[in-house]
Amino acid sequence: MPASLFSAPTLIWMVDNEGPAKQRVETSYLASKLAWTADYVLTVRKDDRAGDLDGWVTLTNHSGTSFPNASLQLVAGNINRVRDAMKNVMAEQVAMRAAAAPAPMMREESFSEYHLYTLGRKTTINHQQTKQVSMLEGDGVPVQKRYVVDGNAYYYRNAAHPGSPLKDDVRGLLPVQDEAKGGLGMPMPAGTVRVYQEDANGGVQFVGEDRIDHTPKTRRST
């Protein structure tokens, strides 16, 4: 195939740079089919009073190209897009930007009406790849198990059957305080939390999962 013939739609720039000086050119573009989600694993200790919380970001790349050794920034929030023009673009975008200072995990900052998370190291995400990177770690996070019954008022005002037994479902909740003294202290993007607990033999058993909304720091997440 001739070098000037491309088998796929290709954008080519022609830049006129007169003079001996070298120029640095940086381009930016929006790529579709790049997405990310947040997932959490909460491992509760046997006494139900503390646990370890790990947060992971799952990156999915179906954009058609790979991003080797790229810096990663994630915008948490529902970004408004023109639906007719960009029907298949996810609201949460993965932005690949210039290098950031080395750091062990994610760095969070307020950005417009959203939260911007910057990975402190470069990472590679290939086309058609799904990978996870660590976002936060909390050791010994205080938890306190609660049992909740959501009954309706009319259950207890039934004149026809006063005192009849009720069989409402009982929900077990594990409130977690998102604060620095508990090993966290950074906003937590909306995502799925999977809960495990230690058993009497030292093993870890899966006990349930739920989804949390975007949780600011110092706010209680259940």
Is residue 152 included in any domain, yes or no? yes
Q: In terms of pLDDT, which residue wins out, 135 or 183?
A: 135
CB atoms within 10 A of CB 189: 25
| Arithmetic mean of pLDDT, 209-221 | 73
The count of domains in the chain is 1
198, amino acid identity: E
Full-model pTM? 0.64
pLDDT at 86 > cutoff 60: no
User: Which residue, among 36, 146, 130, has the nearest Cα to 91 in the 3D structure?
Assistant: 36
Q: What percent of the chain has pLDDT over 90?
A: 11
The lowest-confidence range among 24-33, 174-183, 196-205 is 174-183
Q: What is the pLDDT of residue 126?
A: 92
Rounded-to-integer distance, Cα 135 and Cα 16, Å: 43
Strands 204-212 and 123-125: unpaired
Is residue 181 included in any domain, yes or no? yes
Is residue 1 included in any domain, yes or no? no
Q: Where are the alpha helices (DSSP H) in 93-213?
A: none
Q: What is the pLDDT of residue 158?
A: 57
Is residue 2 included in any domain, yes or no? no
Is residue 118 included in any domain, yes or no? yes
Q: What percent of the chain has pLDDT over 70?
A: 67
What integer best gives the mean pLDDT of the chain? 75
Q: What is the pLDDT of residue 194?
A: 92
pLDDT tens-place string over residues 48-75: 888 888 888 899 999 888 889 988 888 7
pLDDT tens-place string over residues 116-148: 778 778 889 999 999 988 888 888 888 888 887
Is residue 7 included in any domain, yes or no? no
Is residue 9 included in any domain, yes or no? no
Is residue 49 included in any domain, yes or no? yes
pLDDT-based confidence at 41, cuts 50/70/90? very high
Enter the tokens of residue 185: 């202290």
Domain enclosing residue 56, as ranges: 34-221
Long-range pairs for 203-208: beta carbons < 8 A, 24 or more residues apart: 204/43, 207/44, 208/172
The lowest-confidence range among 108-117, 118-127, 185-194 is 108-117
Q: What is the pLDDT of residue 97?
A: 40
pLDDT at 103 > cutoff 60: no
